[in-house]
Amino acid sequence: MAGDKTVETTGLLGWIDRRFPLTTMFKEHMSEYYAPKNFNFWYFFGSLAMLVLVIQIVTGIFLVMSYKPDAKLAFESVEYIMREVPWGWLIRYMHSTGASMFFVVVYLHMLRGLFYGSYRKPRELVWIFGVAIFLCLMAEAFFGYLLPWGQMSYWGAQVIVNLFAAIPFIGPELAIWIRGDYVVSDATLNRFFAFHVIAIPLVLIGLVVAHIIALHEVGSNNPDGVEIKQGPKDRYGRPLDGIPFHPYYSVHDIVGVAGFLIIFAAIMFFAPEMGGYFLEYNNFIPADALKTPPHIAPVWYFTPFYSMLRATTADFTWVLVAGAVIAAAALFLKGNLKGIMRIAVPVVLLIVAVLFRAIDAKFWGVVAMGGAVVILFFLPWLDYSPVKSIRYRPTWHKYLYGIFIVNFLVLGYLGTQAPNPTFNLMSQIGTVIYLGFFFLMPVWSRLGTFKQVPDRVTFQAH
């Protein structure tokens, strides 16, 4: 019976169950965890993210066995892994390919949440944990990027750490504290190594566990946005629109895993550099503090946010001022904010608008880059749509999501290119579109004619 905690097992499993709730946990989170029966391919990416996490941890352990976190030996140790360690090239390429594929999977996983309203009540905490995981991944990737000690690793770290110097009052001292020196050096490499190998992975694993526990507490969302726990149930209290995660979705996910591993292997064996996007060519040159590369850019998964950083010039702050004023007016008049929030949010935006001209543009570039990620935490309280899923929203909402996706990809491409006036203008337009999408969401998400959401999930066997 669903919800029955009694476990009666014998032998070794019974011995374990009397001391550790193994069978009970399996039932609660697998065989008796009822998920909506209308999952589609978008629901592959959660399990794929878990798979890539395991790949990264296992390959990382083997790489650490031969890697030397020393400024004089780091680059040579990576070459040693590639050339001398048995199958070392395979482990290194699995790790480097896994880093990029991790972000591919996570971006698609978050996009599915955006499409189907997976951040809406009662899943706000699930979404917050997910965005925290995304932030941890960005930190993990940044710290790990320095470790090969190539030209792009060294100068990329130098540029990014120097961004902290733009923070008023404490910036210069903060940048020195992060580096452990006045320039990126052996001290920087050692502390980045410690964070990449120990600190961030521990936090990441904890957040993943919290994410899954929170998800299983409230139940999974589905493409219709219908809560199966609130729908009809059988005489045992099981939702009629749900099926056990195991064996149905555990087998279902194997299809996604097989397809993913084919793509993963194809990249790893035939194009591990992916034209310089996964592994930059400058990173095959040892770090040289006296020779700056002609164009310094982060890895592709950071480039949309890097574009926003570069787009924020002194002149562009006037556009941001105007945008903050318009957003404040729209939220006050049409935002449907309640109580103190109706006054507080516009006031904060107006204060920010004033500060735009009082503080250096470099600082606001850092704010725009960081704010583009941080604003995702507030998504559950920005969306005022009466329905969750994009299936039942007005057609023009779908076009808006399409513009947002294309804009994000364009920003990513622009971030890989050397700056020029045309690209800078495109980045500025893209930054306005990205920030406007979220800041004006309380207004546009309520507009239009919405379709009737069905009482039960729509499902066709396939």
Q: Is 295 labelled as part of a ligand binding site?
A: no
- Pick from 116, 171, 112, 149: which is nearest to 385 by CA? 116
- Pick from 439, 285, 273: which is nearest to 372 by CA? 439
- Pick from 65, 64, 54: which is nearest to 102 by CA? 54
Other C-beta atoms within 10 Å of 452: how many?
A: 7
Q: Is 252 labelled as part of a ligand binding site?
A: no
Q: Give the integer Cα–Cα distance in Å for 165 and 175.
A: 6
Q: Is 95 labelled as part of a ligand binding site?
A: yes
**DSSP, res 389:** S
- Torsion-angle region of 107 (φ positive above 0: left; ψ -120 to 50: alpha; else: beta): alpha
State which amino acid sits at residue 147. Answer: L
CA distances from 336 to 184, 379, 441 (A): 48, 15, 11
Q: Give the integer Cα–Cα distance in Å for 98 and 85.
A: 20
Q: Give the integer Cα–Cα distance in Å for 91 and 57.
A: 11
- H or E stretch at 244: strand 242-244
- For residue 119, give both structure tokens: 């951040």
- Pick from 304, 297, 443: which is nearest to 372 by CA? 304
Name 304's Cβ contacts closer than 8 Å, sequence gap at least 6: 372, 408, 409, 411, 412, 415, 434
Name 155's Cβ contacts closer than 8 Å, sequence gap at least 6: 287, 292, 293, 296
Known binding residues: 95, 109, 196, 211, 216
Known binding residues for a ubiquinone: 216
Known binding residues for heme b: 95, 109, 196, 211
